[in-house]
């Protein structure tokens, strides 16, 4: 089994801590090390081969250094000259994995998720392996905590263990998501997949032939250096841009899902981080040097100086060297609006 770690996102929702030059996967948010390092450590015991990490050209040194620091010295780091979303990123990883003539199982993982029960997660991957080996594109389902519109929704056939998928709907609108959650029949897509490299490529051949051709060309013409494999620029740029969810999972007849309960979070907002962070008796979560009096349900995050909070409820304070965020906990989803506004002013 080859871990394929996707490290191309440019998380804006944890601004001002995450930036374009320093996205979420490189941050240390919970536990030890960065999210990228935690991703690798979590699946190390499952890996039979070195991982393939797919990342943007501009982040290459950070990826290489963080992997080395985590004890992973043999990763193949595929560099994308431009971002084309996850379907092409997984395609080049699958093509790379098959260069040896083997057809390995790929465990496709976002680099910016938290999993609190790692042992249970590894057990789930082992449970999913036989179905994936027989040709299913297996994803891992999460019981929805609410009608979030940023997720894929999966309706599974009845039964236990790995089940076939009746429908997969990526990022539905709010009313649809509310209906799905109320029905009790849907899972969230965790964004992690277990599939045979050849099955994924066969699926692309059928659904996305232009994407597959561009990715093939980008790997065939790649520049192979000591530390990095640089995809051919013009070939990769010619690929359509799409996510695996829209490009493959919504359309395939071979999707399967294994529901998991492993303390999963994609830390999609400061509120999500507050939820999984250690809290005091009044629901306050603090990172760094923080003094809070008469506060409830606050998140205070700083590194360099004392943060003092007094008499606040439901407030998020994030202090960095050049920007401070102060927001109501219910409004942190809109941080991306602030980032957009800042970009317009650039």
Residues near ligand GDD, by CB under 6 A: 6-9, 25, 54-55, 80, 83-86, 89, 110-112, 150-152, 170, 188-191, 245, 266
**Cβ nearer to ligand GDD, comparing 239 with 284:** 239
Positive/negative CA dihedral, 272, 275, 279, 281: positive
Residues 20-49 that bind Mg ion (CB under 5 A): none
**Cβ nearer to ligand GDD, comparing 42 with 84:** 84
Tokens matching residue 165: 């998928």
Output the furthest CA–CA distance in the chain (Å, rounded).
Answer: 63
**Cβ nearer to ligand GDD, comparing 86 with 208:** 86
**Cβ nearer to ligand GDD, comparing 55 with 295:** 55
The site partner of 80 among ligand GDD, Mg ion, none (C-beta below 5 to 8 Å per kind) is ligand GDD
**Cβ nearer to ligand GDD, comparing 96 with 112:** 112
Residue nearest to Mg ion according to CB distances in the complex: 266
In 10 A of CB 232, how many CB atoms?
Answer: 17
The site partner of 54 among ligand GDD, Mg ion, none (C-beta below 5 to 8 Å per kind) is ligand GDD
**Residue 22: partners with Cβ closer than 8 Å, 6 or more residues away:** 62
- Minimum distance of ligand GDD from residue 188's CB (angstroms): 5
**Cβ nearer to ligand GDD, comparing 55 with 94:** 55
- Minimum distance of ligand GDD from residue 23's CB (angstroms): 7
In 10 A of CB 21, how many CB atoms?
Answer: 10
The single residue listed with the structure tokens 């000591």 is 226
**CA dist 123 to 115, 116, 161, Å?**
13, 13, 12
- Minimum distance of ligand GDD from residue 230's CB (angstroms): 13
**Cβ nearer to ligand GDD, comparing 155 with 296:** 155
- Minimum distance of ligand GDD from residue 316's CB (angstroms): 20
- What x/- string results for residues 234 through 273 when contact with Mg ion is judged by CB under 5 A? --------------------------------x-------
Say whether the peptide bond before residue 16 is cis (omega within 30 degrees of 0). Answer: yes
**CA dist 337 to 233, 333, 334, 340, Å?**
31, 9, 5, 5
- Minimum distance of ligand GDD from residue 139's CB (angstroms): 8
Q: DSSP letter string over 125-166?
A: HHHHHHHHHTT-EEEEEE--SS--SSSEEEEEPSSSSSEEEE
The site partner of 55 among ligand GDD, Mg ion, none (C-beta below 5 to 8 Å per kind) is ligand GDD
Residue nearest to ligand GDD according to CB distances in the complex: 8
- Minimum distance of ligand GDD from residue 102's CB (angstroms): 22
The site partner of 91 among ligand GDD, Mg ion, none (C-beta below 5 to 8 Å per kind) is none
With beta carbons less than 8 A apart as the criterion, state whether 23 and 62 touch: no
**Cβ nearer to Mg ion, comparing 96 with 266:** 266
Kindly tell me the burial class for residue 281, based on how many C-beta atoms sit within 10 Å of its own C-beta (0-12, 13-18, 19 or more): exposed
- Minimum distance of Mg ion from residue 73's CB (angstroms): 28
Helix/strand/coil for 3: strand
- Minimum distance of ligand GDD from residue 244's CB (angstroms): 7
Point out which residues pair with 258 in neighbouring strands.
140
Closest CA to 163 of 128, 197, 195, 122: 128
**Residue 159: partners with Cβ closer than 8 Å, 6 or more residues away:** none
Number of residues that bind Mg ion (CB under 5 A): 1
**Residue 134: partners with Cβ closer than 8 Å, 6 or more residues away:** none
- Report the interface residues with Mg ion, using CB under 5 A: 266
């Amino acid at each position: 089994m080859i871990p394929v770690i996707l490290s191309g996102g440019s998380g804006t929702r944890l601004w001002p801590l995450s930036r374009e030059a320093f996205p979420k996967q490189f941050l240390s948010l919970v536990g030890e090390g960065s999210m990228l390092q935690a991703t690798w450590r979590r699946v190390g015991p499952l890996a039979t081969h070195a991982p393939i990490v797919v990342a943007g050209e501009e982040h290459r040194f950070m990826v290489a250094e963080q992997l080395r620091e985590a004890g992973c010295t043999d990763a193949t780091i595929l560099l994308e000259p431009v971002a084309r979303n996850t379907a092409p990123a997984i395609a080049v990883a699958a093509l790379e994995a098959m260069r040896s003539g083997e057809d390995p199982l790929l465990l496709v993982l976002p680099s910016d998720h938290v999993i609190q029960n790692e042992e249970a997660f590894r057990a789930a991957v082992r449970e999913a392996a036989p179905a994936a080996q027989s040709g299913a594109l297996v994803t891992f389902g999460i019981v929805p905590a609410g009608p979030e519109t940023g997720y894929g929704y999966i309706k599974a056939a009845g039964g236990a263990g790995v089940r076939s998928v009746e429908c997969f709907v990526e990022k539905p609108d709010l009313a649809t998501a509310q209906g799905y959650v109320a029905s009790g029949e849907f899972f969230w897509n965790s964004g992690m997949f277990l599939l045979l490299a050849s099955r994924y490529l066969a699926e692309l051949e059928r659904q996305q032939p232009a994407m597959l051709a561009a990715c093939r060309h980008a790997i065939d013409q790649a520049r192979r250096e000591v530390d990095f494999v640089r995809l051919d620029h013009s070939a990769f740029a010619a690929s359509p841009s799409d996510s695996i969810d829209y490009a493959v999972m919504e359309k395939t007849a071979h999707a399967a899902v294994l529901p998991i309960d492993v303390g999963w979070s994609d830390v999609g907002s400061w509120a999500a981080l507050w939820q999984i962070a250690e809290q005091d008796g009044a629901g306050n979560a603090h990172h760094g040097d923080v003094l809070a009096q008469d506060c409830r349900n606050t998140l205070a995050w700083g590194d360099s100086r004392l943060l003092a909070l007094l008499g606040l409820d439901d407030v998020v304070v994030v202090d960095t060297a050049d920007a401070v965020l102060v927001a109501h906990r219910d409004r942190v989803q809109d941080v991306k609006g602030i980032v957009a506004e800042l970009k317009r002013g650039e």
